Chains A and B, each alone.
Chain A
Amino acid sequence: MLRAVLIQDLAITRGERRLFSGLDLALRAGEAVMLTGRNGAGKTSLLRAVAGLLRPEAGQITFEDLDAETARAEHLHMVGHHDGLKSSRSAWEELRFQTLWTGGGEAGARAAIDRFDLHRLLELEVRRLSAGQRRRLALARLVASPRALWLLDEPMAPLDAGHREAFGAVMAEHLSGGGMILAAVHDPLPIPARDVRVGG
């Protein structure tokens, strides 16, 4: 079980540009952190570095009680603006793949369909979904296959008020079960979360 993520003295550089340096952050079971900062400050890069997709220039990211490779392959979800959904496939095919690929089962997928109100979308091709519907479909794997650490990039942006509230409840439940959330946001999350400013 993943119990904490520790980020020490992290620096990220893209091309010639130093995005930030000396970033320290500890995220423990049951906690949520909101990453704020101007556009291009490095919020998304930080999330990708935690996910292991981007090599930081300096500093360390450690996962308590697990080696980084296992933690990244089995204990974290990342949902960003590029949701990886294939426009020619149906919503159900995509949800099913994402669930199985991240280690969940059919029961989890069904629970996710209820939580994200996806019943009427399942038969539709992804290309026919609105931005908010697409995002709900991408977020559904958070519930469909339970993993401790959620890395979210602007998760609420395209959602309407009702679904923001519903997703708030999903996040609160995740935290109370010992989960962790690291989210890049511009609007505050509807859950108690520590605010960390990225890039000054």
Chain B
Amino acid sequence: MTAFLILLRRELALAWGKGGGPLLALSFYAGVVTLLPLAAGRGPERLAVIAPGVAWLALALAALLSLERLFERDFEDGALDLLALGPASLEAVAVAKCLAQWLASGAPLALAAPLAALALGADPKIIPLLVLCGLAGGLAFAFLGGLGASLALGSRRGGLLVAVIVLPLYVPPVIFGAGALDALAGGLAWTGGLYLLLGYCAAAVALSPLAMAAACRNALD
């Protein structure tokens, strides 16, 4: 456990250092809020309708961008050897890396999402659900993104491969989260979507570390 915390601290420092953290999240959403009206038209009613969905989608895309090189750098500079030879299993190493990535960029993004949604004119009553979906969905995005990054290790077109592997896996949580938000905004039953999202997130967190560890072992061999 202590080894896990030592690694988590370092990964967090590295993720923060290379541009993660609250500032990144805020500036990312600043970009979304400024550019969306220019691209989608300025009608406030129109924006208010798509605001929750856009805030939610932005979260998924931001996670994809930052995750592409989650394992690649460690693989290239030899740090993965050191991590593989350490006291923690490779599964635990994978969990620490994905968790650090989520803490450094996924969670700040989820916490900043309400600002963007409100700025676009979304109904304030969806805010708690948006944050909850953002946190849970972000966790699922981080672990699934890590899975894609580990499977692409050592291949020449890694970035492309990550996108191709991860995109289908991102579809269900995006649908569940958007469904719950939409239902709440429309005054319908929304808990079903949320439970599906939480279940999907739990499965991703529990299962993907096994695949990540196997992929890393394979890449090192």
Contact = CB atoms under 8 A, between A and B. Distances in A.
A73 interface: yes
B77 A86 contact: yes
B81 A88 contact: no
A103 B85 contact: no
A85 B86 CA distance: 15
B82 A86 contact: no
A27 B205 CA distance: 42
A173 interface: no
Nearest to B73: A86
Contact of B82 (A55, A88, A101): A101
A55 B221 contact: yes
Interface residues of A, number: 28
A53 B85 CA distance: 8
Interface stretch (A76-84, A113-121, A178-186, A189-197): A76-84
B220 to A, nearest CB: 5
B81 A73 contact: no
Q: Tell me whether chain B's interface is mostly helix, strand or loop, or mixed.
A: helix
Q: Tell me whether chain A's interface is mostly helix, strand or loop, or mixed.
A: loop
Nearest to A138: B78
Interface in A48-94: 48, 51-55, 72-74, 76-78, 80-86, 88-89, 93
A101 B14 contact: no
B24 to A, nearest CB: 16
B20 to A, nearest CB: 13
B13 interface: yes
Contact of A86 (B6, B79, B83, B87): B79
A110 B3 CA distance: 20
Contacts of B81: 48, 51, 53, 78, 80, 82, 84
A78 B85 contact: yes
Contacts of A36: none
B78 A80 contact: yes
B78 A100 contact: no
Given A53-B221, A101-B3, A101-B7, A84 B82 contact: yes
Interface of A: 48, 51-55, 72-74, 76-78, 80-86, 88-89, 93, 97-98, 100-103
Interface of B: 3, 6-7, 10, 13-14, 17-18, 74, 76-87, 220-221
Given A78-B81, A84-B79, 12 more contacts: A51-B85, A52-B85, A55-B221, A76-B85, A82-B78, A82-B81, A84-B82, A93-B10, A93-B13, A97-B10, A101-B7, A101-B83
9 contacts: A53-B84, A54-B220, A73-B86, A81-B78, A84-B77, A84-B82, A86-B14, A100-B6, A101-B6
Closest 9 CB pairs of A and B: A82-B78, A84-B79, A84-B78, A84-B82, A53-B220, A100-B6, A101-B86, A97-B10, A54-B221
